[in-house]
Amino acid sequence: MERTPLDSATRRRMLLVLFVFLGVCFGAITARLFQIQIVQHEIYQAKAIDQQVRDTTVTPKRGTIYDRNMKTLAVSASAETVYIAPKSIRNKEEAALIARELSRILGVNEETILKKTTANNYYEIIKRQVEKELADEVRAFKKEYNLESVALAEDSKRYYPYGAFASHVIGFTNVDGEGIEGLESYYNDILVGMPGRIITAKNARGTDMPFRYQQYIDARNGYHLVTTIDEAVQHFIEKHLENAVIEYNVQNRATAIVMDVRTGAILAMATKPDYDLNNPREISDPSLIAELESLEGEEYAKRQMEIWQSMWRNKAIADTYEPGSVFKIITVSMALEKNVVSLHETFNCPGYKVVAGTRIACWKAGGHGVQDVVTGLKNSCNPVFMELGARIGGASFYEYAEAFGLLNKTGIDLYGEASGIFFDRNTIANGVVETAVAAFGQTFKVTPIQMITAISACVNGGYLNQPYLVSKIIDDDGTVVQSFDPVVKRQVISEETSAKVASMLEQVVSTGTGKNAYIKGYRIGGKTGTSEKIDQKNAQGIADKRISSFCGIAPADNPQIAILLLMDEPEVDQVTGGLTAAPTVRKMFEDILPALGIMPQYTAEELASLEKSVPDVSKSTVSEAYAALRSAGFVPSVIGNGDSVIEQVPRGGQKLAKGGKVLLYTEQKEAAPLVTVPSVTGLTPAKATAKLEAAGFNIRANGKDLTEAEVSAISQSPTAGSLAEMGSVVTVDFVHESESEWVSVDY
């Protein structure tokens, strides 16, 4: 059958249809290519890279934190991250094997690992900061089963050599290496460094191609911090602070700060109780553990977080408190600088002062009588300071408070610093009662760091410094990247006024309410405080909670160091700062001043009563030992019939008061019997000495003016009831029975 030739019109129509079809197809292809290559370029590029390239992050080593003498406080040790490549897992059996064995080795939940094996990627972290022993076990498992889907990468783990040491200052990191608290958080960007990368090409099966297709970008380790913290000073402060919390049954934690008054550098800062930086989420308080065990679900998680936050809270910078009589240092500085009082001007204290029709009592019933301003400070007399407040005036009082930095944060290099809670300008400018009560440190609040910074300005020549914790930032080679010089914000009072204040504070310790901070050979100044927590009242509407505090300076004739200690809610018979905080600060000074190279300079009177080191006569003949001890001012007592000394008690080098007894044992069978230490707490020095000597012990008496009637023993070491060698030394701390400085301000 012959074909009918197509006419030209038909051919044209067919060609038109063909061209239209081709045009539509080409347009569709062009549109799709435009969408893929232009509109969705980044999406498909990422997919291509994901199929062709494996990108692994290399964790940098976090910077080290040092004390000011380059002792390590926080360091990153080598560790590894264990991860899997889900896309490389060959089958369900391999996934189950990986989940089971990695759970066994690493202690990670098996179901969690099994879920990660189904992810659509090449990088799922199983566990970070894995130490070498466990990492090697993972490596052996990987090799035994020839698993390309299991891998390890270099990592690091934060380690704190001293555990809980300076925990509220140093802070800690989370599992991702990010700083959470303290310096670790504040300087995180400095410490963390810059991550590196390993970029590896993959073949069609998803496995790594040869090394020549790999690119390695080095990680930059973090920089290191050199802090102002002195490891020795911090240890001494923490030791005595922890003992004070126990001895005085402190309910709401205690805190202490040591500052270089000349620069604002923080040598030590501690809050007790604290927490272990290597295990910062461990709750050790049995009552809190029991409370958590009674909760479930969201209630459990919420309460647990509250407890953690409370544990980690740095009381020295984050909590405000009413400073009480310690604030009188600031008030007298204002008054002297404003020239509204002279040192020898007298005041009369009948036991109260009436201010705008309101009778406000002195803490001493019957009052202090006639006294000058120096004696008023020594006596911590409230009416004297109410009068000073009136002379300063509310407006000026506010301006000085602002100048001393009490209305603003100090700017210390830590997160979480609180600001003081003070009267607004108009209230105190027009409120004579408010000014009167504020003058002796009640009805407003400051933070401990604000308080010690202001007091340092009162004694350092008048200069308000910004407190700081980091002196410099260095790299791995020790090259200084950045240094931080002391920052003087302003001069608040003159050097002349400052010298007067320091001298007055020395008299508070030598003959005033601060006697229990006295140390032989050192010129210590300071001020006690006992404040009422007026915003916390019991069921009867009475504010019955107290804060006892003491701020000490040394040496008073050339102030270098200040210590502020406060105990929040001590529960003892007498909670005054003079009986609790002052003796504790004395113990701190006794340890830290020699450690800082500040050596004692004794007066003739102090030299006469000074303890001496016992000569070592343990290998001498009896006659030689007898002569040496007599010459040194000690009383020898020979026990046994031998010709040579086998043992002596106290041993050579121990301190003993002149006239102390040294036992010389000449026969081994007679050596050093153990006897029970009697209790001397509450006794006068004379009675305590007699009781200890009768029991066969020597006494080392700590305290000032031990011949005065109101002095009594407050603590002893070894403790009563313990066993100690006959003839050994029992150290007894004596305190003056300080009168209360607290007075109710419920007006």
pLDDT in tens, 538-576: 777 777 789 999 999 999 999 999 999 999 999 988 888
The answer to the question of residue 164 being in a domain is yes
CA 497 and chain centroid, separation? 32
**Distance set, CA 150 to CA 101, 117, 145 (Å):** 11, 10, 10
CA 741 – CA 384 distance, rounded (Å):
13
Q: What is the mean pLDDT of residues 419-428?
A: 92
In a shared domain, residues 452 and 552: yes
Flag the least confident range among 32-46, 55-69, 683-697.
Answer: 32-46
One-character DSSP codes across 318-353: H--B--GGGGHHHHHHHHHHHT---TT-EEEESSEE
Find the mean pLDDT for residues 735-747.
61
Residue 325 among the catalytic residues:
yes
Q: Does residue 9 lie within any of the structural domains?
A: no
In this predicted structure, what is the pLDDT of residue 7?
Answer: 67
Candidate list 76, 88, 167, 325, residue with the active-site label: 325
Q: Does 725 lie in the same domain as 664?
A: no
Q: What is the pLDDT of residue 213?
A: 46
Please report, for the domain that includes residue 500, its CATH number: 3.40.710.10
How far is 584 from 575, CA to CA, in rounded Å? Answer: 13
144 — pLDDT class (breaks 50, 70, 90): confident
Q: Is residue 618 part of a domain?
A: yes
**Pick from 171, 201, 227: which residue ends a domain?**
227
* Lowest mean per-residue pLDDT among 443-452, 478-487, 512-521: 512-521
Give the tens place of pLDDT for each residue, 445-467: 999 999 999 999 999 999 999 99
Same domain assignment for residues 484 and 548: yes
Instruction: State the pLDDT at residue 610.
Output: 79
Residue with tokens 């360091």, as numbered in its chain: 75
Predicted confidence at residue 509, as pLDDT, reads 94
90-138 pLDDT, tens digit each:
888 888 898 898 999 999 998 898 898 888 887 888 898 888 889 999 9
Neighbours of 481 (CB within 10 A): 11
Q: Residue 602: is its pLDDT beyond 80? A: yes
Question: Residue 57: what pLDDT?
Answer: 62
Structurally, the chain folds into a number of domains equal to: 4
pLDDT in tens, 157-171: 899 999 999 999 999
Mean pLDDT of 282-298: 90
Q: Are residues 665 and 682 in the same domain?
A: no
Residues 723 and 644 in one domain: no
What is residue 211's predicted lDDT score, i.e. its pLDDT?
42
Kindly state whether residues 170 and 219 are assigned to the same domain: yes
* Residue where one domain finishes, among candidates 227, 260, 288: 227
Q: Which pLDDT score is estimated for 61?
A: 84
Q: Verify that 388 and 476 share a domain, yes or no.
A: yes
Structural domain including 145 reads 54-227
| CATH code for position 71 | 3.90.1310.10
Residue with the bigger pLDDT between 298 and 49: it is 298
CB-based contact 175:148 (threshold 8 Å): no
- The per-residue pLDDT for 339 is 96
> How far apart are the C-alpha atoms of 634 and 530, rounded to whole Å?
42
Can you give the pLDDT at residue 200? Answer: 60
- 617: domain CATH number? 3.30.10.20
| Distance of alpha carbon 540 from alpha carbon 464, whole angstroms | 42
**596 alpha carbon, distance to own chain's centre:** 19
Q: Look at residue 540 and tell me if it is in a domain.
A: yes
Query: For position 714, what pLDDT does the model report?
Result: 85
Q: Is residue 8 part of a domain?
A: no
How far is 584 from 514, CA to CA, in rounded Å? 12
CB 329 within 8 A of CB 551: yes
Q: Is the dihedral of CA 41, 46, 51, 55 positive or negative?
A: positive
Residue 333 lies in a domain: yes
Share of the chain above pLDDT 90, in %: 53
Q: In the prediction, which pLDDT does 533 show?
A: 84
Strand-strand pairing, 729-736 and 698-702: parallel
For residues 665 and 680, state if they share a domain. no
Q: Are residues 592 and 638 in the same domain?
A: no
pLDDT of residue 186: 97
59: region left, alpha or beta (phi > 0 left; psi from -120 to 50 alpha): beta
Q: How confident is the model at residue 738, as a pLDDT?
A: 62
- Three-class DSSP labels, 656-703: ECCCCEEEEECCHHHCCCEEECCCCCCCCHHHHHHHHHHCCCEEEEEC
pLDDT bracket for residue 608 (50, 70, 90): confident
The pLDDT value recorded for residue 235 is: 97
Q: How confident is the model at residue 519 (pLDDT cuts 50, 70, 90)?
A: very high
φ, ψ for residue 691, nearest 5 deg: -70, -40
Mean predicted confidence (pLDDT) in 136-161:
88
In sequence order, the 6+-apart residues with CB closer than 8 A to the CB of 551 are 326, 329, 451, 452, 455, 526, 527, 529, 562, 563, 564, 565
Do 322 and 374 share a domain, yes or no?
yes
Whether residue 28 is predicted with pLDDT greater than 80 in this model: the reply is no
Question: What is the pLDDT at residue 212?
Answer: 46
Q: With respect to residue 608, please indicate whether it lies within any of the assigned structural domains.
A: no
Per-residue b/e over 205-221, b at no fewer than 16 CB within 10 Å?
eeebeeeeeeeeeebeb
**What's the CA gap between 407 and 499, in Å, rounded?**
25
**For range 61-69, the mean pLDDT:** 94
pLDDT digits (tens, 9 = 90+) for 179-196: 999 999 999 999 998 776
Q: Please give the backbone phi and psi of residue 31, each rounded to the nearest 5 degrees, phi first.
A: -65, -40
Instruction: Copy the structure tokens of residue 207.
Output: 């496995």
Q: Which of 194, 227, 260 is the last residue of a domain?
A: 227
241 Cβ contact list (under 8 Å, min separation 6): 254, 255, 256, 270, 272, 565, 584
Q: What pLDDT, in 10s, does the model give residues 101-111? A: 899 999 999 88
For residue 558, tell me if it sits in a domain: yes
Per-residue pLDDT, averaged over 35-46, amounts to 63
Is 50 exceeded by the pLDDT of residue 209?
A: no
Q: Domain check: are 388 and 502 in the same one?
A: yes
Give the separation between CA 391 and CA 259, rounded to whole angstroms: 31
Q: Distance between CA 135 and CA 723 in Å, rounded?
A: 50
Residues 6+ apart with CB under 8 A from 186: 171, 179, 413, 414, 415
Strand pairing class (470-474; 480-483): antiparallel
pLDDT of residue 481: 95
pLDDT in tens, 634-650: 989 888 888 899 888 88
What lies within 8 Å, CB to CB, of 455 at 6+ separation is: 326, 329, 330, 551, 553, 562, 564
- Do 584 and 623 sit in the same domain of this protein? no
Closest CA to 283 of 298, 304, 301: 304
How far apart are the C-alpha atoms of 566 and 572, rounded to whole Å? 15
For the four alpha carbons of 260, 264, 265 and 271, in that order, the dihedral sign comes to positive
Three-class DSSP category at 649: strand
Q: Between the CA of residue 263 and those of 67, 453, 466, 487, 504, what are the distances in Å?
A: 17, 10, 8, 8, 22
Q: Take residue 316 and report the two structure tokens written for it.
A: 């020295």
Lowest mean pLDDT among 62-66, 330-334, 361-365: 361-365
- Residue type for 77, please? A
